[in-house]
Amino acid sequence: MAPNIAIIGAGPGGCMLARLLHQHSIPSTIFESEPSVNYRSQGGTLDIRTSTGLAAIKEAGLFSEFRKHARYDDESLLVCDKKQTTWVRSHPPKKNSTKKRSFEAPEIDRVVLRKLLMESLPEGVVRWSHQLLRVEADRSLHFANGSVERGFDLVVGADGAWSKVRNLLSSEKPFYSGIGGYNMSIPDAAITAPRAYKFVNRGNVFAYSDGKNLCGQQLGDGSINVSFNFRTDEDYVQKCGFDPKDLKSAKKAVLEELRDWTPELVNFVESSDQDSLQWRSYYMLPVGFQWDHTEGVTLLGDAAHLMTPFAGIGVNTAFYDAMLLAHAIVESIESREPNSLDARITEYEKQMWAFAKDGQQRTFGAMTDMFFTPGAPRTSIEPWILRHMKPEVPKWTHPIVTAAVYIGYFIYKLFV
The per-residue pLDDT for range 262-287, each reduced to its tens digit, is 999 999 999 998 677 889 999 999 99
> Does residue 309 surpass a pLDDT of 80?
yes
Contact (Cβ atoms closer than 8 angstroms) between residue 229 and residue 178:
no
| pLDDT higher than 90, residue 45 | no
Question: What does the pLDDT look like over 202-224, one tens digit per residue?
Answer: 889 999 999 999 999 999 889 99
Please tell me the predicted confidence (pLDDT) of residue 364: 97
Q: Is 112 helix (H, G, I), strand (E, B) or coil?
A: helix
The pLDDT of residue 75: 65
Q: Do domains 5-45+110-174+286-365 and 176-284 have the same CATH topology?
A: no
Of 245 and 264, the structure prediction assigns the larger pLDDT to 264
Does the domain at 5-45+110-174+286-365 match CATH 3.50.50.60? Answer given as yes
Amino acid 132 reads L
- What pLDDT is stored for residue 104 in this prediction? 60
pLDDT per position as a tens digit, 356-396: 999 999 999 999 999 999 999 999 999 999 999 998 889 99
Domains in the chain: boundaries: 5-45+110-174+286-365, 176-284, 380-413
CA 94 to chain centre: 28
**Nearest residue to 380 via CA among 103, 19, 108, 81:** 81
Q: Which of 63-77, 83-97, 124-138, 146-160 has the lowest mean pLDDT?
A: 83-97
pLDDT of residue 181: 96
Residues paired with 214 in a beta bridge: 207, 228
Q: What percent of the chain has pLDDT over 70?
A: 94
| One CATH from 3.40.47.10, 3.40.30.10, 3.30.9.30, 3.50.50.60 for 176-284 | 3.30.9.30
**123 has a pLDDT exceeding 90:** yes
Whether the pLDDT of residue 74 is over 70: the answer is no
Identify the band that residue 95 occupies on the pLDDT scale cut at 50, 70 and 90. low
**pLDDT tens digits along 326-359:** 999 999 999 988 789 999 999 999 999 999 999 9
Q: Is 345 helix (H, G, I), strand (E, B) or coil?
A: helix
Please tell me the distance from the alpha carbon of residue 31 to that of residue 10, in angstroms, as a whole number.
7
For 66, 97, 112, 206, 328, the CA distances from 202, given in Å and listed in that order, are 19, 15, 17, 13, 40
Residue 43's pLDDT is: 65
Calculate mean pLDDT across residues 96-114.
70
Mean pLDDT of the chain: 93
Rounded (10°) CA dihedral 300, 304, 310, 313: -30
